[in-house]
Amino acid sequence: MKQRSTRQRRLVLDAVRARCDHPSADQIYTDVRAVDDKISRGTVYRNLNVLEQTGEILHVKLPVTDRYEVRADRHDHLICSRCHTVCDVPIPYDGALDERVIEETGYLVFRHRLVFEGLCPDCRKKIDKADLHGE
């Protein structure tokens, strides 16, 4: 069933499109509230769910907090375990991994989501600097 577009849904979609940092639902809510201070948190969350179901946004499930993005192609993510920055992995998605899992397990695999966890370059610099100063 096709969902009709509402003003609130367009505001939520615009808020996700305006950011390239994989915003959380709370960040999207804050951005939408800056445009419409009457919109509720529940309305934003419901519209995020609808936009995910219609394929207009991607819901990225991560260990710390879920994020959203408009990029629709299959790709993997990196998350910094210190500052929680999320970015796309700049290498092609490996669909052959799905086939290997099917062969090894017998599962019928539709796709996979891979999340690399580590330290981003900025946090690595801060840690290296702290080590130099004996902190």
Q: Same domain, yes or no, for 51 and 83?
A: no
For residues 25 and 78, give the distance between their C-alpha atoms in angstroms, rounded to a whole number: 18
pLDDT at residue 68 in the model? 96
* Inter-CA distances, 124 with 41, 121, 128, Å: 35, 5, 6
pLDDT at residue 93 in the model? 86
Residue 2 has pLDDT above 60, yes or no: no
* Tokens 């910094």, residue located: 80
Q: Where are the alpha helices (DSSP H) in 59-112?
A: 96-105
Give burial (CB, 10 Å; 0-12/13-18/19+) of 72. Answer: exposed
Q: Same domain, yes or no, for 37 and 65?
A: yes
pLDDT at residue 133 in the model? 59
Residue 1 has pLDDT above 50, yes or no: no
Q: Same domain, yes or no, for 66 and 79?
A: no
Residue 1: CB atoms within 10 A of its CB come to 3
What average pLDDT score do residues 4-32 get?
A: 93
Residue 131 has pLDDT above 70, yes or no: no
Q: Same domain, yes or no, for 26 and 60?
A: yes
19-72 pLDDT, tens digit each = 989 999 999 999 999 999 999 999 999 999 999 999 999 999 888 889 999 987
CATH number of the domain encompassing residue 126? 3.30.1490.190
pTM for the model stands at 0.78
Q: Same domain, yes or no, for 85 and 120?
A: yes
pLDDT at residue 132 in the model? 58
Total structural domains within the chain: 2
Q: Same domain, yes or no, for 58 and 35?
A: yes
CATH number of the domain encompassing residue 62? 1.10.10.10
Q: Same domain, yes or no, for 110 and 66?
A: no
Q: Same domain, yes or no, for 58 and 119?
A: no
pLDDT at residue 52 in the model? 94
Which residues constitute the domain of residue 45? 1-72
Q: Same domain, yes or no, for 34 and 49?
A: yes
* Inter-CA distances, 14 with 18, 21, 75, 105, 111, Å: 6, 14, 22, 41, 27
Q: Same domain, yes or no, for 61 and 89?
A: no
Q: Same domain, yes or no, for 42 and 16?
A: yes
61-115 pLDDT, tens digit each = 888 889 999 987 888 999 999 999 999 998 988 889 999 999 999 999 988 888 9
